[in-house]
Amino acid sequence: MNALDLADEKRSAPAPGPAAEPADPPRGLSAWLRESKPSFRVGTLTYTRLGLFLMFVWLLWGDLVWTIMENVFPNSMPLQLDRLGVPKEWIGYIMGTAAAVINMTFVPVISFRSDRTRTRWGRRLPYLIVTTPFVCIFLASLGFTDDIGAWLGSSPLAAKLHISPMTLIVVTIGMLILLFNVFNVFVNSIYWYLFRDVVPSEYLGRFMAAFRMVAALGLMFWNGVLYGRIEQYTRSIYVGTSLIYLFGFGLMCLMVKEGKYPPPEDYAKQEPFFRKIWHAIETYARECFVSPLFVLFYVSQALVWAGQACNIYKQLFYIRHLGFSTAEMGKVNALLGPIILLVQFPMGWLVDKVHPMRAYVVAMTASLPMLFAGYFLRDYAVLGYTFSALSLWITITTIQMPTQQLREASEVPLMMRLFPIKQFGQFSSANAMLRHFAMIIGSIAGATFIGWTNRKYGQFGNAHAFLWHGWFQTAGVILLWIVYFMWRRAGADNFKYEVPEADAMRRGFEVIERDGG
């Protein structure tokens, strides 16, 4: 044994003393939380275990109130517009096209600027804090569409403007919806980027599982308590939800802290205004739309969203044609809620185990048959037994649940693993921009198509929304499989994309041109 070995042995020997260290440290959640050393780091942020736990609590609390708020408008407004007698095409244009135009226009700008914003409060939270009160004001006002419609219908204002009362109603309510969507787009994009900036990477999978569990609780509350009453207590539900969201989400914004970020390297504030805009557009296009893998991924998602453009008509098919009540549908979805809650963490574990890309491709493919099945919902008599449309809808909904949960469990982690960390918001916005462009085209074409089927088949025409959804998602899944094989060739689990520098890319183009010439 040499001198170094003796020194190591001496250092590793227990120190003499009357009392020995306890052999086993205390275990359990309380002991874990009592650890006071900074144990986790995200950029310049450091967390103790208790600090990490409290940050999770506040983010999940924000998710709970956000989930409830996000379910009120899309689930109630088609019924409200239908009560006012708004033509089916215009329901689609108002609910789908207008929102998609706003998202396609605003999300890239918001995301690009947010990635490069530097304030003492961070780069995400300032946008959320400023826009939340406006979201609540316009959401609350949308609860009064029945009163607005009745007042405008009997007002002489339409005659003075030389337009029909229905046109005046559509324009007025459409403007309120437009303003709500303008401010809500900030929350719906930047809220997700915040997770990537404040949650440690090693806890992202578990956090997203907890996030989906809290969202499932919010959906249980929506389906079990609110949805069955939405047509009777529209005003109260809108106003109450707005107040809960204002204080709940606002409190989350105040309690969560961001770290400091290095100055953006690709965005010079000293440039002239128009040069700065051109530089931003050039940088955005160069970074987001060069890789074929990402472009095909964006297009696959766009096709899926184009298919979803007609989903609002499924609700009208259930309620207006098949005669389901919102109370029946709400109870069924609320009963499925505990099952959804229980599968969230196993789904999150499965996604982390097999990789979000594999899980997402499987979920999207397996969901295709059930998308078409809704078109065939009706009462069936077989061998003297009658299978009601409601019982078949419950069956389809139950069968869809595992693939739907797997899709939700893998979609956001996939983008977090696929898109580069530094430009995560920017790449997410490029994906969203193409999604919403597809939603604009899809909602216009889909609403026109469903309007024609309603005139031809009555309320059964709404069932064609299932066929529309199924065929578009089939096309999207085919492209998604191509992306999957490209991802495998690029390293699969070890895939990591670095945005090419402008000079390197320019040199690459020069080589291509020289070789081609």
Q: Whole-prediction pTM value?
A: 0.66
Residue 58 lies in a domain: yes
Q: For residue 281, which of 426, 424, 99 has the smallest C-alpha distance?
A: 426
482 has a pLDDT exceeding 90:
yes
pLDDT at 22: 44
DSSP string, 298-332: HHHHHHHHHHHTTTHHHHHIIIIIS---HHHHHHH
Q: What is the mean pLDDT of residues 475-486?
A: 96
Q: Is the pLDDT of residue 278 over 80?
A: no
Distance CA 145, CA 141 (A): 8
Q: Which two three-digit tokens encode residue 266? A: 């690709």
**Secondary structure tally for the chain: helices H, strands E:** 21, 4
Domain that holds residue 419: 37-259+283-516
pLDDT 10s digits, 95-137: 877 777 887 788 778 887 888 888 888 889 999 999 999 999 9
Establish if 14 belongs to a structural domain.
Answer: no
* Residue 107: burial class (beta carbons within 10 Å; 0-12, 13-18, 19+): buried
Beta-carbon contacts of 121 under 8 Å, excluding residues fewer than 6 positions away, are 129, 258
What is the pLDDT confidence band of residue 348, given thresholds at 50, 70 and 90? confident
Q: Is 18 part of any domain?
A: no
Task: Check whether 447 has a pLDDT greater than 80.
Answer: yes
The pLDDT tens digits for 26-60 are 555 566 556 666 677 877 888 888 888 899 999 99
Q: How many domains does the chain have?
A: 1
Is residue 483 within 8 Å of 293, Cβ to Cβ?
Answer: yes
Query: Among 377, 360, 247, 367, which residue's Cα sits nearest to residue 317?
Result: 377
Q: How confident is the model at residue 276 (pLDDT cuts 50, 70, 90)?
A: low
Please compute the mean of the pLDDT values over residues 321-337 and round it to a whole number.
Answer: 85
> Is residue 515 very low, low, confident or very high in pLDDT (cuts 50, 70, 90)?
very low
Q: What is the pLDDT of residue 35?
A: 63
CATH of the domain at 377: 1.20.1250.20
Pairing state between β 380-382 and 385-387: antiparallel
Contact 353, 293 (CB under 8 A): no
Lowest average pLDDT, out of 2-11, 205-214, 275-284, goes to 2-11
Residue 65, both tokens: 């109130």
At how many degrees (to 10) do helices 49-83 and 234-255 cross?
160
How far apart (Å, rounded) are the C-alpha atoms in residues 103 and 186? Answer: 9
Phi, psi (degrees; rounded to nearest 5) at 264: -65, 135
Q: Identify whether 356 is part of a domain.
A: yes
In a domain, 24, yes or no: no
- Residue 507 in this model has a pLDDT that exceeds 70: no
Query: Would residue 272 count as lying in a domain?
Result: no
Q: Does residue 493 have a pLDDT over 50?
A: yes
Query: Look-up: residue for tokens 């997770």?
Result: 195
Which pair of structure tokens corresponds to residue 477? 């899944």
pLDDT at 503: 47
Separation CA 351–CA 494 (nearest Å)? 16
Q: What is the mean pLDDT of the chain?
A: 83
CB 361 within 8 A of CB 292: no
Q: Is residue 5 in a domain?
A: no
Does residue 172 surpass a pLDDT of 60? yes
More confident residue, 409 or 390: 390
- Is 2 part of any domain? no
Return the percentage of the chain with pLDDT > 70, whole number.
Answer: 87
- The DSSP code sequence of 144-160 is THHHHHHHHHH-THHHH
Scanning the structure block, which residue is given the tokens 């919403």? 436
Helix segments in 272-388, DSSP class H: 273-288, 292-308, 312-316, 326-354, 356-366, 368-373
Is residue 309 predicted with pLDDT exceeding 70? yes
Q: At residue 355, does pLDDT exceed 80? A: yes
Residue 269 has which token pair?
A: 């504030």
* Predicted local confidence at residue 502, as pLDDT: 53
* pLDDT of residue 409 exceeding 80: yes
Q: Give 180-184 contacts, CB < 8 A, sequence gap 24+.
A: 180/73, 180/135, 180/138, 180/139, 180/142, 181/98, 181/99, 181/102, 181/103, 182/102, 182/106, 183/131, 183/134, 183/135, 183/138, 184/131, 184/135
